[in-house]
Structure 1
């Protein structure tokens, strides 16, 4: 069974909004590229899919835009080519190597997890909360940045039940950010 991994940048006060001032440097871009390369496919909700497509889809010209740094190109290439599954009841169609997921979320994700491969990645804010509630996330990676945002959506805000996690890996970055990888402690 493929593990489902949730990875996200988070500020010290728990903000996970992409506009919270968490801009990855070259070292962090390398980390996020490696994380993307560990995924056989990604799962996004509509909002995250549209945001990621707007930022990381290869232009029709085939050339990456001038604003993209040399360190961002490997991430862009990794996310551009990975298959995507988009959970949405409002989108009529998706492209960018993507397919829509509709209907029973738990059933659809369990089917994806049953397929052979190294792992699935989920991103965003709302969808991971729903998947955490269903107990479907097998690994959490939180890259905690030394920033206090003071506003914005919070990590897994609204989770209905307490979740105990076991730290399985920790990595510090020169920027002061720390990546903590956890696995849920499943009750016996």
Structure 2
């Protein structure tokens, strides 16, 4: 069974808005590229899918936009080429190497996890909360940013039951951010 990994940037006060932490730098982009490469497929909710597609889908011209630094291109290429599953009850179709997931979330994700491979990756806020409540996440990766946001959505807000985690890896970045990798206890 392939593991489901949840990865997200989070501030010291728990904010997980994508613009709340430090701006990406070369070191953090290498880290996120490696995280994406560890997955056979990405699992997105509608909001995260649309946000990621607008930022990281290769333009029709085939040329990455001018705003993108050279060190961002490996991440862009990795996420652009990845297989994607999109959980949505409102979208009627998806593109960008994606397949729409509908119906019973638990059953659908359990099916995806049973397929052979190295792992699934999930990001975002709403979908990971539902998956955590269903106890389907096998690994949590939090890149803790040395920032206090003071506002915004917080990590796994509304979780029904506490999940105890064991720290299995830690990586400190030059920026002061720290990647913490946890697995559910038991």
d(CA) in 2 for partners of 1:93 and 1:110?
Answer: 22
In the other structure, the counterpart of 1:34 is 34
Secondary structure of 1:31's aligned partner: helix
Contact 2:139 2:183 in 1 (8 A): yes
Q: Is residue 118 of structure 1 aligned with residue 123 of structure 2?
A: no
Following superposition, the deviation at residue 99 of structure 1 comes to 0.5
The TM-score, its normalising length taken from structure 2, stands at 0.99
Contact 2:10 2:21 in 1 (8 A): no
Contact 1:9 1:22 in 2 (8 A): no
In the other structure, the counterpart of 1:70 is 70
Residue correspondence of structure 1 range 136-147 to structure 2 within 5 A: 136-147=136-147
Q: How many residues align?
A: 186
In the other structure, the counterpart of 2:181 is 181
In the other structure, the counterpart of 2:109 is 109
Secondary structure of 2:70's aligned partner: coil
Contact 1:4 1:120 in 2 (8 A): yes
d(CA) in 2 for partners of 1:145 and 1:18?
Answer: 11
Contact 1:165 1:182 in 2 (8 A): yes
In the other structure, the counterpart of 1:92 is 92
Following superposition, the deviation at residue 19 of structure 1 comes to 2.0
Secondary structure of 2:136's aligned partner: coil
Q: List, as ranges, runs of 4+ consecutive aligned residues in structure 1 with deviation greater than 3 Å.
A: none
Contact 1:11 1:145 in 2 (8 A): yes
Q: Is residue 13 of structure 1 aligned with residue 13 of structure 2?
A: yes
Following superposition, the deviation at residue 21 of structure 1 comes to 3.9
Secondary structure of 2:143's aligned partner: strand
Structure 2 portions without partners, runs of 5+: none
d(CA) in 2 for partners of 1:33 and 1:162?
Answer: 30
d(CA) in 2 for partners of 1:98 and 1:109?
Answer: 15
In the other structure, the counterpart of 1:166 is 166
In the other structure, the counterpart of 2:43 is 43
Q: Deviations over 1:117-167 (max 9, x none)?
A: 000000100000000000000000000010000000000010010110000
The TM-score, its normalising length taken from structure 1, stands at 0.98
d(CA) in 2 for partners of 1:145 and 1:161?
Answer: 25
